[in-house]
Amino acid sequence: MTTEIDKVAAADEPQPRPSVTKKLGPTDGRSSEGGVLHVFSHGMLILWALMVGVPLLWVLWSSFKTSNGILTDPWGLPTSLHFENWSNAWNKANMGQYFINTIIVVGGSVVGTMVLGSMAAYVLARFTFPGNRLIYYAFVAGMSFPVFMLVIPLFFVLRDFPGSSLLATYQGLILVYIAYSLPFTIFFMTAFFRTLPTTVAEAALIDGASHSRTFFQVMLPMAKPGLISIGIFNFLGQWNQYLLPMVLNQQEDKYVLTQGLAMIALQQGYENDWGALMAGMMIAMLPVLIVYVIFQRQVQSGLTAGALK
């Protein structure tokens, strides 16, 4: 007859665990496919990085070589650093003036695009009125027009502008850049404003804020990630724009960087200063690279903010 002590001792003894047979789930058989896809995607990214990075590095080290060194040994590293290429590009090739012109045009156009585009996008995203969708789709349709189809009408519009011609002027080029960049800006910012909470704007209106104050002091700061993202895209597109200034800006002292680089490349057949051309290309690329390196996290967060919300 078992006593109470025996029962307690039997209960304290470890019990054998039942064997568990692992069953393969429906996704276990796809692990090999996922590994292949993982390797393939990383391989394509490495290939793309090489295709972009190698030409950039080649231009960088060629900007410190002589013209003879570039032609005789194009892939060789410079034996000595020729910083005079950069000074020749900035002064003799007039890249300094072209750089200032580009800063003026791109700075004015980016600010104008962001102000007008964000205001129009906010109205289209937050207010319901007759023709709302028609106006929105009209802006979206503007993204489908190739710039080649617009240069001739734009030329005559600027030439025959009431008051005075806007051809070969900062104002004319800024207005054209703004009109060219507005469709994508409104398309992007409209989708972004729709993801923002409406309760904050409603609370501001209840507290007595006007619609303009609500937009500038409440909604616009909340849309900062989207503004930075679309601002970077506009900056890149307008900084590298070549066709529009080539047609609408034929005055040499108003040339932007892309026109200046084309002029330097055209003159190489006579002056043979390839080092200055490479230095000029780096002068044109460095601001874009610096801006992206500084704001890359904001660009990524702005592109994913709408999806996460």
Comparison of pLDDT for 148 and 257, the residue scoring more? 257
Q: Quick one: angle between helices 95-126 and 224-239, nearest 10?
A: 140
- Whole-angstrom distance, CA of residue 52 vs CA of residue 59: 12
- Whole-angstrom distance, CA of residue 9 vs CA of residue 207: 73
Comparison of pLDDT for 266 and 179, the residue scoring more? 179
Percentage of the chain surpassing pLDDT 90? 42
Query: Residues near 217 by Cβ (< 8 Å), separated by ≥ 6?
Result: 204, 209
- Whole-angstrom distance, CA of residue 297 vs CA of residue 309: 18
Say yes or no to pLDDT of 8 above 90.
no
The pLDDT of 2-28, averaged and rounded, is: 51
Q: Show the DSSP H helices in 196-273 as ranges.
A: 198-206, 211-214, 220-222, 224-239, 243-248, 257-271
The pLDDT of 141-152, averaged and rounded, is: 87
pLDDT tens for each residue of 80-129: 899 999 998 898 878 899 999 999 999 999 999 999 999 999 999 999 99
Containing 135, the helix (H) or strand (E) segment is helix 132-142
Q: What local confidence, expressed as pLDDT, does residue 296 receive?
A: 78
Say yes or no to pLDDT of 15 above 70.
no
Domains of the chain: 84-308 (1.10.3720.10)
Q: Residue 200's closest CA among 255, 126, 141, 271?
A: 126
Comparison of pLDDT for 182 and 263, the residue scoring more? 182
Say yes or no to pLDDT of 131 above 70.
yes
Q: Is the dihedral of CA 24, 26, 30, 31 positive or negative?
A: negative
Say yes or no to pLDDT of 309 above 50.
no
The pLDDT of 211-236, averaged and rounded, is: 90
Comparison of pLDDT for 239 and 32, the residue scoring more? 239
CA separation (Å) from 297 to 40, 50, 226, 291?
A: 26, 22, 12, 11
Residues 192, 226 contacting (CB under 8 angstroms):
yes
Pick the range with the lowest mean pLDDT from 176-190, 209-223, 270-284: 270-284
Comparison of pLDDT for 20 and 267, the residue scoring more? 267
Residues 183, 147 contacting (CB under 8 angstroms):
no
What's the whole-model pTM score?
Answer: 0.80
Mean pLDDT of the chain: 84
What is the band of 50 on the pLDDT scale with cuts at 50, 70, 90? Answer: very high
- Whole-angstrom distance, CA of residue 101 vs CA of residue 218: 34
Pick the range with the lowest mean pLDDT from 26-30, 123-127, 208-212, 226-230: 26-30
Residues 290, 242 contacting (CB under 8 angstroms):
no
